Structure 1
Amino acid sequence: MPSDKPIIPVILAGGSGTRLWPLSIKQKPKQFLNLADKELSLFQQTLLRAQNISGSYPPIIVTHHRYRFLVAEQVVQLNVKARILLEPCSRGTAPAITLAAYEALTLADNPWLLVLPSDHYLKSTDSFDTAVSKVIKDNRAESVLVTLGVEPTSAEPGFGYINCAGKAEGGTGLLPVTGFTEKPAKPQAERYLQAGGYYWNSGINLYKAGVFLDEVQHLCPAVYDACRNAYQKLESDLDFLRVPIADYQESPVLSVDKGILEKSSRLMMAKLDAGWSDIGSWKANWEIAHKDNGQNVCLGNIQHVDCLNSLLRSDSRQIAVLGLKNIIVVDTADITLIADKSRSQDVSLFTDFVQGGTDTERVLRPWGSRNVLYSAHGYQVNQLTVKQGQKITLHMHRQRSEHWIILNGSAHVNCETDEYFLEKGNSIVIPAGCSHSLENCGNAQLEVLEMQIGDYLGDDDTIRQ
């Protein structure tokens, strides 16, 4: 649905959601996961929707710098173009969108911004395109902030609610907003459902970049000033755009809903009827996925007998479930969650405990990934995965040695002036202070078991050469 009016999607991909724990964790939150029975991650689905609307304008992706390689990898998988804007620290959605607005103004003359959370699901792309098109064609939208609302089908206490009471009958155009309520208690949500005129807040916004920046300057000048100062020092770094932390962290931490939309006198709502879900719980995941005759969602290596209305997922091991109803079973390499489906909103109660207790942590790098298998005082065991044709470039460590064992593939290692070609089962010791590199020179992924030994093992002991 490319429009003759410039539309630049802004995809917010920096959140670290915990409601789909233990699959969604800080290192890889839910927007980067393939959920339900979908082949693409939520982020990738959002990116394709954005590309369908924007035409020749690349979407602007705003994410935390810790997710930069996750984002870049999933963009490359789709073979699309995007501008990846990195936040050096988390300040909330209001500063993130403000940065994106400045970037959008360099691409087009006062374009429309279509702000999209990257962790939501839409069943109908056509209905979404239609809703956006209606807003763009409404002349009133040129000077206001528009948020898309979803007519509620149940009293969900986990959602935000937009109040258009008394204004919603009849037309399908823009509706004045009279209030917001964030995550009301169940009885209050039930009253909203009975009263009518209340809509779920989809988190999808649409407005002109200049109009949005005017409202930020008026309603929250501290955000406006910090983001303006940070953007003026924008730098390119490989495929990324970076702003300095010293300026950006001067912005208060603020959501766009609380800081801008709820305070604005220029806010209106348009209806969205596209099968929206924020997939904010395992129950919501169950609702959108394909089900068997017993209304079970089975993902992975699952065997079940006499089970009903359940979500059963395993990413590795075989799971056997017998005679259970309305349950959630999610099995990962580190932990297994078993919960009553009606309590799936409460799994975040466990996240502080488990994030501190797990032994594994996968970190993406341009050349592949590093998985921390075990860490203790004085040593750490990692599994390195180097993609075909990729290389860990020349570097050294002053305070640690490294022992490499080739688990799979072929490696070309440089260590000072010496050169080695290693195959599966070979090993090498890299002494502290020795310049070295590691290259995948084979036709398959290179898997390396790495043991680091030293008094200090921090990443800032890596000296690039």
Structure 2
Amino acid sequence: MIHPVIMAGGTGSRLWPLSRQLNPKQFLKLTDDHLSMLQLTLDRLNGLDCSEPLLICNEEHRFLTAEQMRQSGYLEPDIILEPCGRNTAPAIALAALTLTAKAAADDDPLMLVLAADHLIQDVDAFQAGIKRAVPLAEQGKLVTFGIVPTHAETGYGYIQRGQGLSEGSFEVSRFVEKPDLDTAESYLTSGDYLWNSGMFMFSARRYLQELQTYRPDILAICQAALDDAREDLDFTRVNADIFAECPEDSIDYAVMEKTDNAAVVALDAGWSDIGSWSALWEVSEKDGDGNSFTGDVIAHDTATTLVRADNRLVATVGVENLVIIETKDALLVAHKDRVQDVKKVVERIRNDGRHEHMNHREVYRPWGVYDSIDNGTRYQAKHITVKPGAKLSVQMHHHRAEHWVVVSGTARVTNGDKTYLVTENQSTYIPIGQVHSLENPGVIDLELIEVQSGSYLGEDDIVRFEDRYGRS
């Protein structure tokens, strides 16, 4: 049986303003109207002989990850939380240690390591490649999946094929860094090179043996952090202080480029890492002028342009080779040849002390979502949606009062020492310093408008006394 391990970290800053630090690209519906990139990754496992997947994600994405897994049918998801990012070698070590700890002494779990934010258009070809890798991994090989290149790409690392092992499978001759254009063209012409996809298959114990050989420091810290882990709802929380001491290293540098047991399976399955807006344009459906439009778009004399309009009409006249991305709080206009520089805009936003790199106007919480619809010097208005049966923490604020107006559904409000129901078109007032909570006791979404007023309206002005979701 294959044990899928899905790495769902990362922030996808090149896909700003759609991808934000607290809602990055793996949780977005970029290539499908109904499923996020993570959910598509889970979906393409159907038909393989797999256990339920083990997810690894950043702590700040834990509730978003769990909710999307539940929507995909995994009602009791298994999620390891990284308190800080330390690259792929430690993340995979945590997964391998977790799987071996649960396995019998004579069992060596077979790991399929996948990224949560890749696109694979030909699922049958993908699954055929996975099946070709199984016997190699069972023989002790550390298998990576190399993508058959379609053009001279300078944004990917490459793998040079060595001696053939079986149909579509080879020893690894060497890994090479991202090349310049001339070198990439020579790789394409030779036919001996594959794109490095960052997907792997190997047995858990085999990976740990190789890590012990080449990076025992990483293995020791991961083991210590996991030994002092605690279970919290759907999550495994490793010891944050111990894990923070772990060196950062990728699996490529830590193991794959050093081992004598690397193998590569060639994969031609319509793969893309959707690493930029131009990459999304390349895999999107286009009209006769090479345009890809999503949302309310009117175009005149426009060619080879990507437009995503999430909230309002976007009109274009006499342009070509552009990327135009509209969200509730930001607008990006970039030439397709310069989309790799979007990350520089994100750096500028962060350095200027702004927040648009962190959150959308809509912010997801374990109990639902809120949309900051308006704000001023001493006020802020939010549209809050609370899921059936969900409850916000019991809390208080030092600097703001809140006025709640119920638009739809029923709210159970705790306001000081009183608890009462507030229904549609009714309202209630929470004074500064009052301990309070909000719950949806009904079977439909609770929607309300919250108007905050006070001298400070930041999200860190929350003192929690009780929280069913384990937040401090």
Same fold judged by TM-score > 0.5?
Answer: yes
- For 1:399, the equivalent position in structure 2 comes to 398
Q: Aligned equivalents of 2:333 and 2:395: distance in 1?
A: 45
Residue type at the aligned position of 2:117: D
SS state at 1:357 partner: coil
Residue type at the aligned position of 2:67: E
- For 1:415, the equivalent position in structure 2 comes to 415
Q: Aligned equivalents of 2:13 and 2:397: distance in 1?
A: 37
Contact kept? 1:37, 1:290, Cα under 8 Å: no
Shift of 1:255: 1.4
Post-superposition Cα deviations, 1:131-151, rounded to whole Å, max 9, x if no partner, equal 11112134x752121100012
Match among 43, 52, 68 for residue 62 of structure 2: 68
Alpha carbons of 1:96 and 1:430: their partners in 2 closer, same or farther (altered >3 Å)? same
Residue type at the aligned position of 1:256: I
- For 1:13, the equivalent position in structure 2 comes to 8
Post-superposition Cα deviations, 1:303-334, rounded to whole Å, max 9, x if no partner, equal 11232222111111111112322221111112
Match among 73, 81, 84 for residue 79 of structure 1: 73
SS state at 1:324 partner: coil
2:149 is aligned with 1:155: no
SS state at 1:345 partner: helix
Post-superposition Cα deviations, 1:182-232, rounded to whole Å, max 9, x if no partner, equal 322223222222233111011110000000001111111111011101111
Say what the alpha-carbon RMSD is for the aligned residues: 2.5
Alpha carbons of 1:377 and 1:259: their partners in 2 closer, same or farther (altered >3 Å)? farther
Post-superposition Cα deviations, 1:389-444, rounded to whole Å, max 9, x if no partner, equal 32224x23363443133252232211122233334554433234433221224533
- For 1:256, the equivalent position in structure 2 comes to 251
Comparing 351-360 with 281-290, greater Cα deviation is found at 351-360
- For 1:312, the equivalent position in structure 2 comes to 307
SS state at 1:448 partner: strand
Alpha carbons of 1:258 and 1:321: their partners in 2 closer, same or farther (altered >3 Å)? same
User: In the TM superposition, what are the counterparts of 1:417-436 in structure 2 within 5 Å?
Assistant: 417-424=417-424, 426-436=426-436
Residue type at the aligned position of 2:155: G
Contact kept? 2:6, 2:56, Cα under 8 Å: yes
Contact kept? 2:383, 2:447, Cα under 8 Å: no
Contact kept? 2:141, 2:202, Cα under 8 Å: yes
2:361 is aligned with 1:367: no
Q: Aligned equivalents of 1:345 and 1:435: distance in 2?
A: 47
SS state at 1:222 partner: helix
Contact kept? 1:95, 1:223, Cα under 8 Å: yes
Aligned length: 455
- For 2:463, the equivalent position in structure 1 comes to 461
Residue type at the aligned position of 1:269: V
Shift of 1:382: 4.7
Match among 205, 210, 216 for residue 215 of structure 1: 210
- For 1:447, the equivalent position in structure 2 comes to 448
- For 1:331, the equivalent position in structure 2 comes to 326
SS state at 1:328 partner: strand
Q: Aligned equivalents of 1:377 and 1:304: distance in 2?
A: 38
TM-score when normalising by structure 1 = 0.90
Shift of 1:447: 2.7
- For 1:3, the equivalent position in structure 2 comes to none
Q: List runs of 5+ in structure 1 lacking aligned partners.
A: 1-5
Comparing 290-299 with 94-103, greater Cα deviation is found at 290-299
Q: Aligned equivalents of 2:461 and 2:370: distance in 1?
A: 12
Q: Aligned equivalents of 2:174 and 2:375: distance in 1?
A: 50
Q: Aligned equivalents of 1:375 and 1:218: distance in 2?
A: 56
Q: Aligned equivalents of 1:51 and 1:103: distance in 2?
A: 23
Comparing 107-116 with 209-218, greater Cα deviation is found at 107-116
SS state at 1:19 partner: helix
Contact kept? 2:400, 2:456, Cα under 8 Å: no
Residue type at the aligned position of 1:119: D
- For 1:125, the equivalent position in structure 2 comes to 123
Shift of 1:80: 2.4
SS state at 2:185 partner: helix
Shift of 1:383: 4.3
Shift of 1:388: 2.8
Contact kept? 2:143, 2:265, Cα under 8 Å: yes
SS state at 1:96 partner: helix
Q: Aligned equivalents of 2:456 and 2:17: distance in 1?
A: 32
Shift of 1:167: 3.9
Identical columns (%): 37
Q: Aligned equivalents of 1:286 and 1:52: distance in 2?
A: 29
Shift of 1:300: 0.8
Q: List runs of 5+ in structure 2 lacking aligned partners.
A: 468-472
TM-score when normalising by structure 2 = 0.89
2:142 is aligned with 1:142: no
